[in-house]
């Protein structure tokens, strides 16, 4: 079960039975539009506030996942989820709609894998038959909270990242068909004293590197074991830094197989500066695009490392550094 210091090996290999992914208009124009279950053409989504639209993203992703598995809402034992809004209210409202027992998580953009790791642990230990886990973010709602008003004309530097509008949820179970969760490494907070909220990739890269190296060491595998190692939202700058850090630490990583969700989701030429970010980013890319590629047999073993910048608008204004974290979960095809 526990291997090394902070890695779990799941002997029962919990199955990702189904997933649900929802996106916004900007994602519909992106690179992986076909991998979404549902796309909205308008940021408001017929709601009267961005926060309500945010809740809708989470809700629809969860309901879609339950629907696709062909089960009823009340068969789900626990719901583990989170987002970036104050006191994670969109997720809590979703939990209220679902009516399932609920753990609220906050891991910023690493929430998706934090939820998947904990969910897999519970299923593996036979603590539940069905667990729903997910994360979401809404561009305007999150920008409003962390940065400036949506329509404010401030020029963003090339290191800034674009918050993804999207929600992704996965349903885990002990039986069924689908890719399986085989192991997870829990990250520790890495704080390199970086304090620029417009360069989160640079702040999060050391956390991602730390978790990946710990995972490979504790699981006793080489990076070539995985078809892909995918980070959450390091974007261009963070990814380059991470690759250089691996080089510096003499950890062999194949550049072609080291991808980033924040770079997969958008097309070249979309005005996102360095790339995508947000709690929904790794959730929609993993539960949509990557799992589809696994199901088609193109990929067999992937390691998803969701990275989170655990800052708040208050700590930024008080000039504090950005504490960062990364959680890694391995998803593999094949028998029980």
Partner 1 sequence: MSNNRKKNLTSIQQQYQTFAKDREKKRPVFKNCIKAFFVGGFICTIGQAITTFYMYFFDFTEQTAGNPTVATLIFITMLLTGFGVYDHFAQFAGAGTAVPVTGFGNAVISAAIEHRTEGFVLGVGGNMFKLAGSVILFGVFSAFVIALIKTILIQWGGL
* Window 270 to 289, contacts with partner 1 (CB under 8 A): 271, 274
State yes or no: residue 151 binds partner 1 (CB under 8 A): yes
Among 150, 249, 254, 267, binds partner 1 (CB under 8 A): 150
Residue 234 touches partner 1, criterion: CB under 8 A: no
**Residue from 120, 205, 285, 331 that binds partner 1 (CB under 8 A)?**
205
Sign of the alpha-carbon dihedral angle for 283, 285, 288, 291: negative
| Residue 224 binds partner 1 (CB under 8 A) | no
The residue count for binding partner 1 (CB under 8 A) is: 35
The answer to the question of residue 153 lying near partner 1 (CB under 8 A) is: yes
Q: What is the 3-state secondary structure (H, E, C) of 277-332?
A: ECHHHHHHHHHHHHHHHHHCCCCCEEEEEEEEECCCHHHHHCCCCCCEEEEEEEEE
Separation of alpha carbons 262 and 237, rounded Å: 11
Give one word for 223, left, alpha or beta, with left for phi > 0 and alpha for psi -120 to 50.
alpha
Alpha carbon 94 to chain centroid, angstroms: 18
Kindly tell me which residue out of 101, 158, 220, 334 binds partner 1, with binding defined by CB under 8 A: 158
Q: Which is nearer to partner 1, 256 or 318 (CB)?
A: 318
Task: Specify whether the CB–CB gap between 50 and 44 falls below 8 A.
Answer: yes
Q: Which of 31, 129, 159, 333 binds partner 1 (CB under 8 A)?
A: 159
For partner 1, which is the closer residue by CB, 27 or 37?
A: 27
Q: Which is nearer to partner 1, 67 or 196 (by Cβ)?
A: 196
- Residues sharing a CB contact under 8 Å with residue 275, sequence separation 6 or more, in sequence order: 161, 162, 201, 233, 234, 235, 236, 260, 262, 263, 266
Residue 244 near partner 1 by CB under 8 A: yes
CB of 141 to partner 1, least distance (A): 10
Binding mask 173-202 for partner 1 (x = CB under 8 A): ------------------xxxxx---x--x
Helix axes 50-69, 89-98, angle to 10 degrees: 40
Name the DSSP class of 249.
Answer: T
Q: Which is nearer to partner 1, 117 or 207 (CB)?
A: 207
* Smallest distance from partner 1 to CB 152, Å: 4
Buried b (16+ CB within 10 A) or exposed e, 66-105: beebebeeeebebbbbbbbbeebebbbbbbeebebebbbb
The tokens of 244 are what? 């250089």
Token pair 């034992």 is found at 77
In the complex with partner 1, the residue whose CB is nearer, 84 or 194, is 194
CB of 245 to partner 1, least distance (A): 8
Based on CB atoms, which residue is closest to partner 1, 19 or 137? 137
* Residue 313 lies near partner 1 (rule: CB under 8 A): no
Which residues of the shown chain bind partner 1 in the complex (CB under 8 A)?
Answer: 48-51, 144, 148-159, 191-195, 199, 202, 205-206, 236-237, 240-241, 244-245, 271, 274, 319
């Amino acid at each position: 079960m526990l291997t090394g210091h902070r890695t779990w090996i799941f002997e029962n290999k919990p199955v990702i039975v189904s997933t649900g992914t929802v996106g916004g208009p900007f994602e519909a124009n992106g690179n992986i539009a076909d991998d979404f279950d549902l796309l909205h053409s308008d940021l408001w989504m017929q709601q009267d506030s961005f926060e309500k639209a945010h809740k809708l993203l989470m809700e629809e992703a969860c309901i879609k996942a339950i629907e696709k598995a062909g089960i009823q809402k009340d068969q789900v034992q626990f719901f583990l989820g989170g987002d970036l809004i104050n006191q994670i209210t969109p997720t809590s409202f979703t939990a209220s709609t679902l009516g399932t027992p609920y753990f609220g998580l906050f891991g910023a953009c690493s929430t998706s894998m934090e939820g998947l790791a904990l969910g897999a642990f519970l299923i593996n230990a036979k603590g539940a038959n069905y667990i729903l886990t997910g994360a979401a973010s809404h561009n305007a709602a999150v920008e409003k909270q962390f940065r400036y008003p949506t329509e404010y004309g401030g020029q963003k530097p090339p290191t800034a990242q674009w918050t993804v509008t999207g929600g992704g949820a996965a349903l885990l179970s002990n039986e069924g068909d689908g890719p399986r969760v085989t192991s997870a490494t829990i990250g520790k907070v890495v704080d390199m004293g970086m304090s620029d909220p417009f360069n989160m990739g640079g702040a999060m890269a050391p956390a991602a590197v730390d978790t990946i190296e710990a995972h490979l060491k504790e699981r006793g595998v080489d990076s070539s074991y995985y078809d892909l190692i995918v980070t959450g939202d390091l974007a261009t700058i963070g990814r380059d830094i991470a690759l250089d850090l691996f080089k510096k630490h003499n950890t062999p990583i194949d550049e072609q197989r080291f991808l980033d969700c924040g770079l997969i989701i958008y097309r070249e030429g979309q005005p996102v500066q360095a790339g995508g970010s947000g709690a929904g980013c790794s959730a929609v890319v993993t539960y949509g695009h990557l799992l589809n590629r696994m199901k088609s047999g193109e990929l067999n073993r992937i390691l998803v490392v969701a990275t989170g910048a655990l800052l708040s608008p208050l700590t930024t204004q008080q000039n504090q550094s950005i504490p960062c974290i990364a959680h890694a979960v391995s998803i593999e095809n094949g028998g029980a």
